[in-house]
Structure 1
Amino acid sequence: MLPGRRRAPVGRPEVDVAVGVVRSSDGRVLLAERRPGTVGAGYWELPGGKIDPGETPAQAAVRELWEELGVRVQELEPWRVHTHDFASARLRIHLFHVRSWSGDPTGREGQRLAWVDPRQPAVGPLLPSNELAMTALGLPDLMAVARVDRGPDGPGNLMDQIPTLATRGVRLLIVRAPDLASAQRVQLGRRLMRVSRGTGLRLVLSGTPLEALQSGADGLHTGATALSAATERPPIPLWVVSVHHSGDLARATALGADAALVSPVLPTPARPAHEPLGWDGLRRLVEAGPLQVFARGGLGPDDLGPAIAAGATGVAVDIDRVSIPAVART
């Protein structure tokens, strides 16, 4: 759960709700529109509702999906818990992945339903308390990681590659520029955002939360060392972190990260002193928690299949490994 106050703001109660993520075979997510006459009428949200006294969150999710949609849940997996403050209440939202279900989803209470691409929902507006979840659900399975060094050619070379990355299945680019000054990283982020506009490529800047915000980047990347010093989730829509072991992963989960790059999975010259996890080690880390994990270290686009077989969401590869066209699933 995201860190926050233990008590709701004065005059506002805390309300626990259970929410189910129902996905179609092609990766679309089911949303429901709030009915006229209800709080938030006209907003779209992931289906769910309040947890009744005596219910567990999982029981509430199963009940709500049946009552609201006629969906019979056969397999439910806890995903994440976070809080969101509305003017009238603080919601504690318990999210579940519905791994197996039956029935034909129908708005049994008169609400409209829609199957949407979580990256670009065709309906809206989205209920604000659902925005974090939808951002995480929209992550692609192929990410690229680029390092920009000092010198006039570094930023230019990367910007020249943006159109090619987009045509080769990359939908998210993490940019690292540790040797640049803070103002230079912000400027780099702004230039890359301009170049990538209209390509479908999202930019995640490695640095501080303020740098990511000032650059207008789509998200923030935090390395394992900075993660160890973090005490709360940064105010960023998309937060990706790097982790190397189970302790890092547990901390990232507790702080509310959206995704973790786990490395090294295979031997890599960049980390010769680190024993590679291997596919079995990656599988054990994935099974240890609900966070979306991307395999990294010694990998290329062709390793997407083994990574997914190990339970990862996808792979994060160095930009120079994206040399063979690869089509991402989302």
Structure 2
Amino acid sequence: MVKRVEVAAGVILRGDGAFLLGRRAPGTFYPGYWEFPGGKVEAGEAPADALRRELEEELGIRAIELRPWIVRRHDYEHARVSLHFFEVARWEGEVRDHVHDALAWQFAGAAEVAPMLPANGPVMKALRLPRFMGITHAGEIGVAAQLEGLERALGGGLRLVQVRESTLAVDDLREFVAAVIERARPHGALVVVNGEARVARAAAADGVHLKSAELATMTARPDFEWVGASCHSREEVEHAGRLGLDYALLGPVQATLTHPGVEGIGWQRFAELAADLPMPVFGLGGLSAADMDEARAAGAHGIATIRSAWPR
């Protein structure tokens, strides 16, 4: 019988955005491999409590604020491991290594250490995903106004754009996607296209975003670097996880102009629906940058928004 092990792991964040990795010491499983600090969850122990204990034992620091993030499962030769990842948003004390062979602060997308433990590899990609997604609505405000808003947002730090334009004719959509990508590339921003895989591929977009109806018909992940989906239920986010998607949007969290009369699910329900998933989940619906802290406290990777994404 395969041994099942629960592990709590921490993405310890420094003020400049770097996160901490430790190299496993000789005499342990996978010596020389790099991992996120943490350890085994003991019987009767909550994963968050286990992580607090492990960080004190391993690094001599005290976690002040933990944010639930994702749960990755991996089958090693010795055990089936469930890794509960938390963002360690605030902590105190001086980092001192008591367990690992070495420690290193790294940046998402620019890690300089290898190899990573197999279970932790996908987490490195998830850390590359920006926290704020701007969703276009050129069909409502006009292409010129949308592109102007996009340029201002990119200049202000926006690094993830979803092109969602169901009312544009295909030829107009192609031109618009090309214009968005042309503006996004110099800023290193990712561009995903909603519901139009052929347009996304022809434009060399970074990925595709599946509508919930498309997600329901999928039996395999589309062949793009980045693939996400819109979800409204636990069943849908679980299906997105099984397909190995990179992220999901979940909502509406609050009432929106896009869906008048539809009541938002609120952050408590969001946290319940988004718990224990293998990929990051964005909160969607009536949100702005001011909601980021509350979103992440509820387990969201970040937020996605239409109207508040585009400064005037």
* TM-score, with structure 2 as normaliser: 0.67
Name structure 2 gaps, 5 residues minimum. none
Q: Deviations over 1:219-273 (max 9, x none)?
A: 43222212233345556554432223454445445555434242262231x323x
Instruction: Tell me by how many angstroms 1:95 deviates.
Output: 2.9
Aligned match of 2:228 in 215, 218, 240?
240
The answer on 1:284 being equivalent to 2:269 is yes
1:120-159 correspondence to structure 2 within 5 Å: 120-121=109-110, 123-125=112-114, 127=116, 129-147=119-137, 154=143
Counterpart residue identity of residue 251, structure 2: V
CA contact (8 A) 2:67 2:296 kept: no
CA contact (8 A) 1:32 1:44 kept: yes
Secondary structure of 2:186's counterpart equals: coil
- Please give the alpha-carbon distance, in whole angstroms, between the structure 2 residues aligned to 1:318 and 1:80: 25
1:323 corresponds in structure 2 to 311
Name structure 1 gaps, 5 residues minimum. 1-6, 8-12, 325-330
- Please give the alpha-carbon distance, in whole angstroms, between the structure 2 residues aligned to 1:45 and 1:264: 33
Q: Deviations over 1:14-46 (max 9, x none)?
A: 996735123236354212245689987776432
The answer on 1:46 being equivalent to 2:74 is no
RMSD of Structure 2 on Structure 1 (CA): 4.9
1:97 corresponds in structure 2 to 86
- Change in CA separation of 1:20 and 1:53 when aligned onto 2, cut-off 3 Å: closer
Counterpart residue identity of residue 94, structure 1: L
Is 192-201 or 296-305 further displaced after alignment? 296-305
The answer on 1:174 being equivalent to 2:162 is yes
Secondary structure of 2:274's counterpart equals: coil
- Please give the alpha-carbon distance, in whole angstroms, between the structure 1 residues aligned to 2:79 and 2:226: 21
Q: Deviations over 1:55-83 (max 9, x none)?
A: 98949867765665345668877643335
- Please give the alpha-carbon distance, in whole angstroms, between the structure 2 residues aligned to 1:256 and 1:146: 25
- Percent of aligned pairs with the same residue? 30
- Please give the alpha-carbon distance, in whole angstroms, between the structure 1 residues aligned to 2:156 and 2:22: 33
- Please give the alpha-carbon distance, in whole angstroms, between the structure 1 residues aligned to 2:7 and 2:310: 40
1:226 corresponds in structure 2 to 214
Secondary structure of 1:140's counterpart equals: coil
Aligned match of 1:23 in 12, 32, 39?
12
- Change in CA separation of 1:63 and 1:200 when aligned onto 2, cut-off 3 Å: same
- Please give the alpha-carbon distance, in whole angstroms, between the structure 2 residues aligned to 1:308 and 1:76: 10
Is 205-214 or 24-33 further displaced after alignment? 205-214
Secondary structure of 1:276's counterpart equals: coil
Secondary structure of 1:105's counterpart equals: coil
Is 158-167 or 303-312 further displaced after alignment? 303-312
- Change in CA separation of 1:36 and 1:174 when aligned onto 2, cut-off 3 Å: farther
Instruction: Tell me by how many angstroms 1:173 deviates.
Output: 0.6
Secondary structure of 1:198's counterpart equals: helix
CA contact (8 A) 1:246 1:285 kept: no
- Please give the alpha-carbon distance, in whole angstroms, between the structure 1 residues aligned to 2:287 and 2:78: 45
The answer on 1:107 being equivalent to 2:97 is yes
- Please give the alpha-carbon distance, in whole angstroms, between the structure 1 residues aligned to 2:296 and 2:60: 31
2:255 corresponds in structure 1 to 266
1:60-71 correspondence to structure 2 within 5 Å: 65=55, 68-71=58-61
